Structure 1
Amino acid sequence: MKRTTRFKQLVLAPEILLLPGVQDALTARIAADAGFSAITCGGYATTATLLGAPDTSQLGMTEMADHYARICDAVDVPVFADADTGFGNVTNVRRTVRAYERAGVAGFFIEDQVYPKRCGHMPGKAVVPVEEMVAKLKAALDARQDPDLMIMARTDALAVNGLDDAIERGRLYREIGADMVFVEAPTSVEQMRRICAEIDAPCMANNVEGGSTPILPAAELQAIGYAVSVFPCATTYTITHAVGRLMRTLMETGSTDAARDGMLDFDAFNRFIGLPEQRKREADLQDFARSKAGGR
């Protein structure tokens, strides 16, 4: 089954889809190994990983698409991606869709922030006129080659114009043809309930530790009406904390001994990353080649 088809089924299933956020191919493999049926990777984590910088539109479309291609190559599970504002006008949006499809993503979202955008839980956001976003969304929907590729429309209007405008935009984006709708950064459970009740579309809950939105367990979000729950930053925050502790230990003691209980060793990591399987493939191909060459 195509990964796009599988992802679509997961989104439309009665059970809420829990998507862990990853930041690169390695963390994607860790998430898949843990048993998640799909994963996501946003611009926040990608910018931190590739640039060591904040999520403020510093990465270009080709950098993002290349990053997603490496992640999709590393795992078999569907990958849900971040297309920011489409990286330009409607023409740029069409090119973004083609590049993301070639990368192998199972879906992505496009948002209505003014470029350069910023993380949805940062202050000072601005949104484009709704007509501009409608044109971009229609361009994205028309450009996709795979009808099962899930395209989600995101609005950041809640923090700018209020909840009523955000819901109105979400309903319009669904009418245009968005497969999913994402109203970013509600600040209360009451707002979350209105979003799910008043937008007739699969909606996504965005769980950012320390962000604007209450973080609820998946079961509670499902009861509210959400179809998807994502934790896009937890991996990045955990890595930053864990590696920070490791570096302080190494600096203070001159050794990693005191931190060994928080890490894998050489053999364990090689097993996890697939070195034995790679060596077996190499040996099998060498045996095949010798058998063919020896029979001539």
Structure 2
Amino acid sequence: MFAGSVGSLSVLGAPDLIVLTLTEFAQQAYRICRAGDLALLVDADHGYGNALNVKRTVEELDTAGVCALTIEDTILPTPHGEVGKPRMISIEEGAGKMRAALAGRQDPGLVIAGRTSAVSITNLDDAIARANAYAAAGVDAMFFTGLRTVAQLDAISAAVKIPIFLGSITDELSDKDMLAAKGVRIALQGHMPVMAGIQAVHDTLKALRDGTPPKALKGVASGDLMGRLTRAADYQRQTTDYLGD
């Protein structure tokens, strides 16, 4: 999953404060889709504005080639005087955003998921009410953040009849078979690959600064791996075909 927070980090070197624009996010999603053929799920935050902006957001991300996206119902960016006090838009506005998202879909295979943080901001009953309203609007799946217990998941699974996504999961919610039996189809595990990559770059630069010879560094990607990541063989064939030996 390509999260808004990862986009803000990679494009701007900034935290997840909704300072990244739709254009910047969609361009980065396009670059990712262009570089490989794995399906890309993206976190489209609140759709970068009201329902009209949501429709435009879906159009741009659909064009970029993503396979699935989520639209959330938190009030974003954080209003003045409300730092640390997240609030939700109304269910009615949220349902309108979901209908707009569906109207912006061009590829019928694009999965559009509603997203709510109501479990941790308001309460579980509100989260279920929102999920069912968004399901009635036509979304393909529902993404819940903030779940911590099996009891919470049981309540959601009993009431929500569309596929469930979960945000970062707790130890209590870590059994994959149990999650699958309760309708969970995606359970995210945080941004550990990105964080591990950042730590590796930091440690490598520090080691070089401290005098470690480049050839003595550990954990460096091999030439073979770099060649596969950059599709060097394909480019070599193209060079031969189009430019000659």
Q: Give the TM-score normalised by the residue count of structure 2.
A: 0.89
Cα drift, residue 219 of structure 1: 3.0
Task: Map 1:239-250 to 2 at 5 A.
Answer: 239-250=197-208
2:142 is matched with: 181
Pick from 263, 271, 275 the counterpart of residue 232 of structure 2.
Answer: 275
Letter in 1 for 2:36: V
2:193 is matched with: 235
1:226 is matched with: 184
Letter in 2 for 1:137: M
RMSD: 2.4
Please tell me whether the aligned partners of residues 153 and 170 of structure 1 are also in contact (alpha carbons under 8 angstroms). yes
Please tell me whether the aligned partners of residues 11 and 24 of structure 2 are also in contact (alpha carbons under 8 angstroms). no
C-alpha distance in 2 between matches for 1:175 and 1:274: 44
Pick from 72, 80, 86 the counterpart of residue 41 of structure 2.
Answer: 80
1:29 is matched with: none
**1:38-88, CA deviations, whole angstroms, 9 ceiling, x for partnerless residues?**
xx2111211121122211111011111101111111111221112110111
1:190 is matched with: 151
C-alpha distance in 2 between matches for 1:54 and 1:214: 29
Task: Map 1:1-296 to 2 at 5 A.
Answer: 40-116=1-77, 124-207=85-168, 216-260=174-218, 262-266=219-223, 268-286=225-243
| Structure 1 unaligned blocks of 5 or more | 1-39, 291-296
C-alpha distance in 2 between matches for 1:267 and 1:169: 49
- Partner SS, residue 210 of structure 2: helix
Say if 1:267 and 1:204 are closer, same or farther in 2 by CA, change over 3 A: closer
Cα drift, residue 175 of structure 1: 1.1
State the number of aligned residues.
242
Cα drift, residue 251 of structure 1: 2.4
1:4 is matched with: none
By relative contact order (CA 8 Å, sep 6+), the higher-ranking structure is: 1
- Partner SS, residue 93 of structure 1: helix
Letter in 1 for 2:231: G
**1:213-271, CA deviations, whole angstroms, 9 ceiling, x for partnerless residues?**
856143342133311222341211211222222222222225334423x0124454234
Identity %: 31
Please tell me whether the aligned partners of residues 43 and 55 of structure 1 are also in contact (alpha carbons under 8 angstroms). yes
Please tell me whether the aligned partners of residues 206 and 213 of structure 1 are also in contact (alpha carbons under 8 angstroms). no
C-alpha distance in 2 between matches for 1:268 and 1:155: 39
Please tell me whether the aligned partners of residues 41 and 232 of structure 1 are also in contact (alpha carbons under 8 angstroms). no
| Structure 2 unaligned blocks of 5 or more | none
Say if 1:252 and 1:106 are closer, same or farther in 2 by CA, change over 3 A: same
C-alpha distance in 1 between matches for 2:87 and 2:61: 25
